[in-house]
Structure 1
């Protein structure tokens, strides 16, 4: 939605759309914000951003698909409204029907030195021709701020050219 205000979460700027709820997820020790989740009419879109020169969407997609399959789930690429995405079914908990695991749709977008991943559950997993694809449209409007929270310290690993491929871009609570 053009002209929409953006919620400043540090490493991400999220559109403030009508009937969309934003939740922040924290964890780790010390506790820190790990992801932002947007909810709209039963659809849940979890957003996480990463920085690094080799964390590109094609590579991450292949690794994710391999990981799901190694765990006994199913995963495949498909072309969505904004590029290649992943559609998968994770394996169910032990003792349950192996086909009864959760269905996911994973979206990806990259820019210079960053990757944005969106994990979708709910009605927008498989939007039909009569269903607006809220998740993909919202995902396309998210702004990534790759330099947020970057420390300027020099490390021996950086001097040797070792770059972490999945360094999360930190988030903060809105002001």
Structure 2
């Protein structure tokens, strides 16, 4: 089971490497890693388990954050509708790629955080408002998914980890809250 102790923190060299493609067909080890990553996210969002296991809440995790330089991400975006408890997005993606994206940009009003960063980093992280992502799922099938707003931001954050990019690399150092016209601020 993955815990916070397994997650490497900023400054670790693996977080700045470009991760290697995962070989297909997927190995049992890579499939299990994906399951464990998703389980961590689900546990981190459960108030009882999170406290018991001392987990910080997360919606995404990339293999490089576990010091494993492979192109694997897990995302688990909970529902914001109490009537529909199933998650908005819950997936393990092997070799994910952004196939296309919107011209429109977006950012989170409260900024972004990261399980590998133990400090607040103020500022807007501007990303594409909509993306189409292709990836291989745990059964080896090719998938294509269109995401927008929060879900799109979460997946872009995780794909950045596969390319050695941290969220704060996107923040304007001179003016962290500067935005170009037309950027959608998601609250």
Into which bin does the TM-score normalised by the smaller protein fall?
under 0.3
User: Which has the higher Rg, Structure 1 or Structure 2?
Assistant: 1
Query: Higher relative contact order at CA 8 Å, sep ≥6: structure 1 or structure 2?
Result: 1
Q: Which structure is higher in helix share?
A: 2
Q: Which structure is higher in strand share?
A: 1
